[in-house]
Each structure stands twice: as structure tokens, then as C-alpha cells.
Amino acid sequence: MRKGIGVSPGVAVGSAYCIHEIFLNPETRELEPSEVLAELGRYELARDQTAADLRALKAKVSSQVGEAEASIFGVHESILYDPAFESKLRQWIVDRHQTAQSALHHLLSDYTSLFARTKDDYLRERLSDVRDVVLRLSGHLSQVLDPNSSLPTGPIILVADELLPSQVATLGERQIAGIVTQAGGSTSHAAILARSRGIPAVSGVRGILKQVTNGDLIVVDGREGHVVILPDAETETAYRKLQREFFDLKGALAENRDLPAVSADGLPVELLANINSVADAKAAKAMGASGVGLFRTEYLFLTHPNVPDEEEQLAAYREVIAESPNHRVTIRTLDLGGDKTIPYLGHNREANPFMGWRSIRLSFEHPEFFGTQIRAVLRAAAGSAGPVRLMFPMITTLEEMRRVRSMVRRAQTRLHQEGLRAGKVAIGLMLEVPAAAISIDNLLEEVDFVSIGSNDLVQYLMAADRDNPRVNHLCQPLAPPVLRVLSRVIATCNEMQKPVTLCGEMAGSPRPVVLLFGMGLRSFSMSPAFIPTIKDLLRQLTVAKAEEVLRRAMEFKTTQQVDRYMAQQIAEIAPKLKLLDTA
């Protein structure tokens, strides 16, 4: 048995199919000057063939799987024609007389070392998109056939160093039962696609490509995050049974899309989605979300070559609002710094980036884009068919809240003076800093709503960087001190009648959701893929039961005790969900 990280829940049994690296031996031959022009021509032809592939794939995946899954191929096409990408390749061919293949190899290693230096997971994982494009180009140059074409029939478990987005998305018609990768994290596109398609997946299983060969029977357990290679007959039977249950469960959950989100005793609950893009907004609708509880706008900025101007932002927000369930969207202003840096802001390395110049602190010092963002949101809200809310991340003090409020008021006045329409927006704070949690009653004076950003709140409460593998075991959402803080914040918001949501990862995970419901939380915002599971859970839970479980859980002194107790409770409240329950 090999241990990794479960990135998509469920259980699968099947034969291994290994995808090995194509780029093992780069060419070293230098071109004669007379060959350079012809080589450029070869590259351009391969590029155009690649673009044609990508467009065909986009159309195919869009009709067979969905537009959200297909959008990645549009991104790949823009990488292919990206001026920096193209000019680097041309330089290698023209100035250094490298073959196009070899230029691709150099380009990929340049990008790999460049991306390795960034601390931003999202950006680092975009390297797999670049690799995907490079592999496709390389395939056309060497006329290698599609690496997927020789897949065996029957349920298979893909084993790869890192699975490329196009590989996951084109697997539509094949029976991919599970995915195991050596690299990759839970925010990689492959993981997101695997989750959205309900394929169990485990990543971070180092060296597995050396341990399995094509056709080996393997088990992927996406709940526990482990892989069993060549299981004995008994183990195989046990896992096959779990796999059948997992299939039945997925079918049953998909059907609850149109059922109301209410607890077993009839209390309505709000299930919202966390999104990064228009494609995610569509996925949120498909999963039965009633709105968007967190639109992370930084991806709009991260994928743009410079600061997107007001009109560009306005168009992007309008599109997201148009595609979101019930046109209800909570837009979060830029949350950069910490783990997310963008080159054009000239971000400096800091000793403590998470406690440093990040998020709202950085935005205050960049009124040129912060003010523009507020204006764009207000204008987008003006024509919206549903309520638009504006939310500010990492608020620490009351003064900061007053400052953003007055910025919003000023922007409204200016827009009116300019003859432009500004919509009404509720103004909220993201509760992520312990100081704000402690004095939440004071802060509530200046806010219309609160959204608890538990990913950050937990790391700050535990003083443990959520991205540092040496200490992130301390980032436990079920830790007793975390539960105490959450319960106080939720109670205070409820007493003062301010709407409160939680939009961190714990909102999509059964164990914490039971406790949060017991604390009085009635609004949860999560990855669209988790909505059916959480709806199913809440439909089987009463307020009285959740309160009783919470009371007991709060008596424990260690996270481990809470965790064990909650695993038992999930098994009792929603026994079928056991397959999707993870620590």
C-alpha cells in the first residue's frame, strides 16, 4: 500500500495504465544556418496543427462533457500563441540554431525553473498547462500519435507523473476509473477536473511509476488518499464492493440537484459556490447552488498580462453575474500577496508573507486598481438581475472597515457625477484574522454581512502556514480552539442579526458541516462539486441532533478525539456518505 493525498473522493479498482514522460532525450544537434528557415516553418506548421487540435478538442469536450471542462483548451490556445512563448521558441531556433524539438525542451526547462520559484500553488500548477501545450506541439513535430490512442479497454487507472488537463478531459469516452499521480496538488486542473467528473484520484504518490506496469491491478482510495498495488483476492473483493457503493451513491446524489436545500426538520439552508471564473459559475448552476458565495477575483488579474482596466473588469463581472445561479454573486476584492503574487505589482519577498503586505493591506496602497475594481463592481451591480455583494478580505481592524466603506461611498458619488449607474451592494468582511474574530461585535457596526474565511482563520489561529508541509498538519479545522472561535463568531453574528456564511474548505466537508450547523450557521459556500454531498447530509440532519453532536464535540480536548467522534457521527447520520467523508 502506498500513501498519497486524496484529491478526489471515492474508490476505484482497475488495471494500471502508465503514462510516461515523452521528453526523456532532448535532441542536441545544431542546425546549419541554411536549415533555420525550414525549421521555423516546421514549427509554425506544428503550431497551427496544435491549434486545430485544441479547437477540435474544445468543441468535442464542450458538447460531451461541458463548457466548463472545455474552457481549458481555450487557455491552451492562448499559451500557444502567447508572444513571450513564441518569441522564446523563435530565439532558440534562430539565434541558437536549435531544432524546434530542442527549443521546446529548453523552453520547458526555463518555465519549469521559473515556476518552481513561485510560492503560488495556482501559478505553479499552471505549469502543467504549459507542459500540455509543449507536449502537443512536440507530438506534431515528431508526428508521435496521440498518447491516449493505445489505452486498453475496460476500467483503467491512469498512473502518471502528472496528469495533463487535456489528458483528463479527453478521457470522456473511455472508462477511466481512477487516477494516481506522482506530483500535483489539490488545486491543479487535473484534480479539479477529476473532482468535477467524480473520478477518485490520489496525488503525491512518489515513485509509483517505477512500481507498477501496464495491466497491474490497482486500487485507488481517494477518501483515505492511498493506493493498493496488486491487492490480494480478499482486499480486491472488499474494494470492489466499496466501488459499487460509490457508483450508486454518485447516481443518487446527482439526483438531489433539484431537491430543496433544507435540513431534516425543514429549516432552509443556503448552499453557495466558490468560483474563480465564468466556467465555475456555470458548474455552480449545474450542481444546484443557489448563488455564488465567493468569487475570487485575483484569477482575473493573475491571468491578465497587466492590470485589467475598468471596462475589462466590468465585462468580466457582468458575465460572471449573468452565468451565476439566480445572478447572486459575492465578489471578493483582490486578495494578492501571501501565496499569490503578480509580477506587475513588483511584489517583494518578505520573511512572513502571510503576515505581511497582502490582501486588503496591499489593495489600500494601490488605489489605482483597488478603486477601479470597486467602480467596476458597482457598475456591474447596477444592471444585475440578482443581488451583488462586495466583500473585503483579511480585514483586521474597524478602521479598515470604515476606510473601505468610505471608498465605496466615494466611488458611488463619482459614478453619479459622471452620469454612470452605480448599483446597491451589501458590504461584507471576510473574517480571517483572529483579531477580527475576537472583536467581531465591534466590527459588525460597519458591515452588512460576514463571510468566514476559515482557510486563513485556521492557519492564523494555529500559527501554522497552510502551505508549509512541515507544519500544515496543525491547520486543523476541527481543533478545539478553532471550534470555540467559530462558535462565538457565528453566535455573535446571529444575535446581531448580520448574515454570516463560511466560505473556506471546511464548508464542503461533512464532519465540520455538522458542527457548523449545530453552531447556528445556515449558509455554506464551497467548491461546486461538493454541493450535492453537503445537501444530502443536511437533508438528514436536524437542528437538535447537530446541537447535541456539537455539545459533545466541544467537550473533547484534542483534535484527534473530535475527529474520531465526528467520523462515527457521519457514519450514523448519513451512513452512505461514509464513502465521501474525509478527515
The answer to whether 360 and 393 are in contact (CB under 8 A) is yes
Which residue number has the CB closest to Mg ion? 456
162 near Mg ion (CB under 5 A): no
Span near ligand PEP by CB under 6 A; candidates 241-249, 376-384, 451-459, 516-524? 451-459
CB 269 within 8 A of CB 522: yes
Pair 475, 464: CB distance under 8 Å:
yes
Per-residue cell: 15: 488495471
> Minimum CB separation from ligand PEP for residue 457, in Å?
7
Residues 305-344 that bind ligand PEP (CB under 6 A): 335
DSSP string for 361-410:
HHHHT-HHHHHHHHHHHHHHHHT-SS-EEEEETT--SHHHHHHHHHHHHH
Instruction: Give the number of other CB atoms < 10 A from CB of residue 318.
Output: 17
Q: Is 129 in the site for ligand PEP (CB under 6 A)?
A: no
Q: From the CB of 294, what's the least distance to Mg ion, in Å?
A: 9
**b (16+ CB within 10 A) / e for 126-142:** bbbbbbbbbbbbbbbbe
Assess 512 for contact with ligand PEP (CB under 6 A): no
CA distance 453 to 351: 23
Separation CA 572–CA 583 (nearest Å): 16
Q: Find the catalytic residue in 105, 140, 189, 226.
A: 189
Site string for ligand PEP, 277-296 (x = CB under 6 A): -----------------x-x
Least separation in angstroms between residue 153's CB and ligand PEP is 41
Strand pairing of 329-332 and 388-392? parallel
**Of 158 and 489, CB closest to ligand PEP:** 489
536 touches ligand PEP (CB under 6 A): no
Where does this chain touch ligand PEP (CB under 6 A) — which range of 72-80, 160-168, 367-375, 449-457? Answer: 449-457
Any contact of residue 4 with Mg ion (CB under 5 A)? Answer: no
| Chain length of the chain | 583
Among 455, 468, 540, 561, binds ligand PEP (CB under 6 A): 455
CA gap 429, 436 in Å, rounded: 10
Does 221 engage in binding with Mg ion (CB under 5 A)? no
Type and span of the H or E element at 310 = helix 310-323
**Shortest reach from residue 357's CB to Mg ion, in Å:** 15
Candidates 337, 428, 504, 532; binder of ligand PEP (CB under 6 A) is 504
Count the residues of the shown chain that bind ligand PEP, applying the rule CB under 6 A. 10
Residue 178 binds which of Mg ion, ligand PEP, none (CB < 5-8 A, kind-dependent): none
Binding to Mg ion by residue 456, rule CB under 5 A? yes
Q: Is 453 in the site for Mg ion (CB under 5 A)?
A: yes
Which lies closer to ligand PEP via its Cβ, residue 199 or residue 294? 294
- Dist. CA 299–CA 320, nearest whole Å: 13
Single out the residue of 77, 432, 536, 581 in contact with ligand PEP (rule: CB under 6 A). Answer: 432
Is 120 a binder of Mg ion (CB under 5 A)?
Answer: no
Q: Which of 503, 519, 531, 549 binds ligand PEP (CB under 6 A)?
A: 503
Choose the contact partner of 504 out of Mg ion, ligand PEP, none; CB within 5 to 8 A by kind.
ligand PEP
**Catalytically annotated residue among 18, 475, 493, 503:** 503
* Nearest distance from C-beta of residue 282 to ligand PEP, angstroms: 20
503 is annotated as an active-site residue? yes
What span, in angstroms and rounded, lies between the C-alpha atoms of 220 and 189? 19
Number of residues that bind Mg ion (CB under 5 A): 2
Cα-based distances in Å from 15 to 18, 112, 230: 10, 31, 10
**Sequence-separated (6 or more) residues with CB below 8 Å from residue 268:** 260, 261, 262, 522
Q: Binding marks (x or -) toward ligand PEP, 184..223, rule CB under 6 A?
A: ----------------------------------------
Question: Please, what is the minimum distance in Å from the beta carbon of residue 463 to ligand PEP?
Answer: 15
Instruction: Assign 472 to helix, strand or coil.
Output: helix
Q: Is 105 a known active-site residue?
A: no
Q: Could you say which of Mg ion, ligand PEP, none residue 454 binds, taking C-beta under 5 to 8 angstroms by partner kind?
A: ligand PEP
| Region of 49-57, 306-314, 456-464, 473-481 interacting with Mg ion (CB under 5 A) | 456-464
Interaction of residue 456 with ligand PEP, rule CB under 6 A: yes
Contacts of 532 (CB under 8 A, 6+ apart): 253, 254, 256, 257, 287, 288
DSSP sequence for 430-447 = EE-SHHHHHTHHHHGGG-
Task: Please answer whether residues 580 and 198 qualify as being in contact, where contact means their C-beta atoms are separated by less than 8 angstroms.
Answer: no
CB atoms within 10 A of CB 477: 25
Catalytic residue positions, numbered: 189, 503
Residues that bind Mg ion (CB under 5 A): 453, 456
Residues that bind ligand PEP (CB under 6 A): 294, 296, 335, 432, 453-456, 503-504
